[in-house]
Amino acid sequence: RRTREAGSVGAPRARRIWSAVMSSDAGGDGWEGRQWDDMVERCAAVVDRLRTIRRADDEDDRGAAELTRALEEIVALIADDEEYVPALGAARGHDLLARLVTHRVSEVASAAADAMEACARHCPPGASFPGDVDEPSHAIMRVGTLAAPLTLRMRHVREGYGSGERRRIPNIAWDSGLVLARWISRHPELVAGKSVLEIGAGLGAPSMAAARRGASTVALTDADPLATRNAAYNARMNLGRVASAKVACVVHDWNDESDLSDSDSDDSDETNHGTDRGRATCSLGRALERFGGFRRSDEEGGGDWANGDGANEVETSRLEVETSRLEVETSRRFATFDVVLGADVVHERGMAQGVARMLVRHLGRSPDAVAVIVNPAPAHRSGAADLPSALESNGMAFASTRVTSAMLRVGVMEETEDVRLDMFLVRRREWGAPDASVMEDVTDEWVRHA
């Protein structure tokens, strides 16, 4: 029923094709075997070993060594997947760790302290250690194609679900993000080999689709630090260590005007950035520089952003960073990108101007640099009607169309299936209007002529 309402002409074909795509397993290789019950059972086995050895009160070296090995196993599990922290709580292991910190054998006490530190440091966003344990919830987002399936299993940030309480905005798998991620999967040429920025990412499905479709580097940003930390986890689990190493999940408020005033405070190019490709000192540039795998390399290109050599540990997501380059231009201290993505980024009055100003700062200056924005139509989002004029007044040219393709809209949430979505293709005005033909498959017209 949803498919028919989403697009009448392409619906039967979309249903047949999408059923094949949806038959793939949810999530990438990182999710293999990661069912909650299995994780709790594994933790319970370790906890039972600890209790058995502790009750035996074995004072010889063998007993202490066995306790230490079991505690080290807990640390290794948490290093592999932070969800083992709440799973350990479900197995009643949190309190046991606290008691073992005072063990008479110093090696055991030290190992227990290490396990406690690992739990505290890597406790999933929204969870507590020690504390009540909730099983994680996930959104399953099927965003691939028949030729290249991609099913994302996106963990939500844990939050209370009291009476009348709504989920936080970054925790929702918005239809706009689902549609944009699917469209990117159908157009890998848009992102392959390019630097990508996503604003207001939330769960970050478009960023992960871009990384899987060959983007050289992806900056996934959101104003909510819990959202970016959760996105880093989802990237690792869905994309694997190598592909997720290209994704920097950083906190950045694209609607913050402080960068603009800061850059205008000093007109000296020498002071601001030295050269046309000098160091970007905007808040996004600084955030990327703080992100361990995306540091500036003065030795390689005088201002390019570059990944570290070998296996630098990234604190946010604990990824081993593979050697690669983040080719990000800088202009008047702003880090700029080949592709900028935004899904449902205008939902309040005034936000359209914020999006347009963000593009002025961070969209690359080459003729190939483009932004793709998918947003609910003005009838469904306050302020959305201001987006066209905001783009024009900030020196941007754009093409737009209504998203009616059943291939893109199939499977959207039932309560929002009647929400109309608009897609904008944007670039700087000096290069003229973007080629709207790339958006032909956004409507059902392509099906009529297929």
**pLDDT tens for each residue of 429-450:** 999 999 999 998 988 755 444 4
Residue 213: band (very low, low, confident or very high) from pLDDT cuts 50, 70, 90: very high
Q: What is the pLDDT of residue 135?
A: 86
> In this predicted model, which residue has the larger pLDDT, 289 or 315?
289
Residue 416: band (very low, low, confident or very high) from pLDDT cuts 50, 70, 90: low
**Residue 376, preceding peptide bond in cis (omega within 30° of 0):** no
Taking all residues of the chain, what is their mean pLDDT, rounded to a whole number?
A: 78
Q: What tokens were used for 362?
A: 């961070």
SS3 396: strand
> In this predicted model, which residue has the larger pLDDT, 318 or 240?
240
> In this predicted model, which residue has the larger pLDDT, 339 or 306?
339
The string of pLDDT tens digits covering residues 72-97 is 999 999 999 999 999 999 999 999 99
The string of pLDDT tens digits covering residues 327-371 is 444 444 788 999 999 999 999 998 999 999 999 999 999 999 999
- pLDDT at residue 312 is higher than 50: no
- pLDDT at residue 409 is higher than 90: no
Centre a 10 Å sphere on the Cβ of residue 319 and count the other Cβ atoms it contains.
Answer: 26
What does the angle CA 151 – CA 154 – CA 157 come to, to the nearest 5 degrees?
175
User: Rounded mean pLDDT of 52-73?
Assistant: 81
User: Rounded mean pLDDT of 386-402?
Assistant: 96
> In this predicted model, which residue has the larger pLDDT, 261 or 149?
149
H or E element: which one contains 422? strand 421-428
- pLDDT at residue 157 is higher than 80: yes
Q: How far apart are the first and last CA of the chain?
A: 23
Q: What is the pLDDT of residue 180?
A: 96
The string of pLDDT tens digits covering residues 267-295 is 333 322 233 344 556 788 888 877 654 54
Residue 59: band (very low, low, confident or very high) from pLDDT cuts 50, 70, 90: low
> In this predicted model, which residue has the larger pLDDT, 56 or 287?
287
- pLDDT at residue 62 is higher than 80: no
Q: Are 336 and 392 in contact (CB under 8 A)?
A: no
Instruction: Report how far apart, in Å, the C-alpha atoms of 18 and of each of 23, 146, 388, 420, 426 are.
Output: 8, 7, 33, 21, 29
User: Rounded mean pLDDT of 221-238?
Assistant: 94
> In this predicted model, which residue has the larger pLDDT, 322 or 112?
112
Q: Which amino acid is at 13?
A: R
pLDDT above 90 as % of the chain = 53
Q: What is the pLDDT of residue 11?
A: 43
CA torsion, points 222, 223, 224, 230, in degrees to nearest 10? Answer: 20
> In this predicted model, which residue has the larger pLDDT, 162 or 126?
126
The string of pLDDT tens digits covering residues 8-53 is 334 444 444 444 334 344 555 555 557 899 999 999 999 999 998 8
Q: What is the pLDDT of residue 276?
A: 38
Q: What is the pLDDT of residue 258?
A: 64
